[in-house]
Amino acid sequence: MNALSRVFAREARLAWAGGGGAAGPAAFFLACISIVPLAVGPQAERLLAMGPGIAAIAALLAVVQTAERLFADDASDGTLELYVLMPVSPALLALAKVLGQAAATLAPLPVIAVIGGIMFGLDFAQSALVGLALLCALPALALIAGFAGALAAGVKRGGLLIALIAIPMMVPALIFSSGAGRAALEGEWDRAWATLLLTLAVSLGTMALMPFGIAAAMRARTG
């Protein structure tokens, strides 16, 4: 097992062992998409139009609410210092850590998004595309949350800082992932697939760049 798979596996295991795994984000996501109809009213057409956007917003908020714990515990218990002193690329280590946590905690969200889409009146194919778009967006959302979490680790009122940093950076992933669902809803499947690929491109770009930012933030927190 190489160093990165060790970090990935450990972070996933710790997320389940100590943090309740996927239960928190899944419950938050489910609660968000469930209470929207209560707030905006039961009109079927309105809910149908809002479905893809609500799923994307709920996912964004679910990811942001996990960000504070992502690095705060490591900063307070000394793990962050140890990580920085390991003979492993800090950026790759950050990537493995964040994706390990995301795999353990965020994996159910696309599945719930499919169910949510059906709840909002989308047919199965449209709902599946909403779930797939969310799956494509999750790496970007998780890494941006990781970056904000690393910057805010050990900072008082870190949650506010995370929201201010992360949410604006998540806007492209939000726009493309909800856009893919909207295009499917309008029957424009070519545009839906193209937008889905753009969502994936945002995630791949984020995976290429953001680990360096997270690594720099980790180092800044240990100095």
Partner 1 sequence: MNQIAEVLPNLAPFESLALSVAGLTLSRGDLCLISDLDLRLSGGDAVFLMGANGSGKTTFLHALAGLVRPDQGTIMLGDRPLDLEASEWIGWLGHVDGLKPNETVRETLRFWAGLQGERKPPIMAVLKALDIGHLIDRPTGRLSRGQQRRVAFARVAVANRPLWLLDEPAGPLDQRGRDRLAELVAWHRDRGGIVIAATHQILDWPGAETLELSR
- Minimum distance, C-beta of residue 91 to partner 1, in the bound complex (Å): 14
14 binds partner 1 (CB under 8 A): yes
Please classify residue 155 by burial: count the beta carbons closer than 10 Å to its beta carbon, then call 0-12 exposed, 13-18 middle and 19+ buried: middle
Q: CB 39: neighbour CB atoms within 10 A?
A: 6
* Separation between Cα atoms, residue 203 and residue 126, nearest integer Å: 21
Q: Could you give the string, one character per residue 27-66, with x where binding to partner 1 holds by CB under 8 A and - elsewhere?
A: ----------------------------------------
* Separation between Cα atoms, residue 33 and residue 15, nearest integer Å: 24
Angle at 7 between CA 67 and CA 171, to 5 degrees: 30
Residue of 85, 160, 164, 208 that binds partner 1 (CB under 8 A): 85
Q: Contact region for partner 1 (CB under 8 A) — 28-36, 42-50, 74-82, 104-112?
A: 74-82
204 binds partner 1 (CB under 8 A): no
Contact criterion met (CB below 8 Å) for 192 and 126? no
Residue of 43, 78, 171, 204 that binds partner 1 (CB under 8 A): 78
* Contact residues: partner 1, CB under 8 A: 1, 3, 6-7, 10, 13-14, 17-18, 76-79, 81-82, 84-88, 219, 222-223
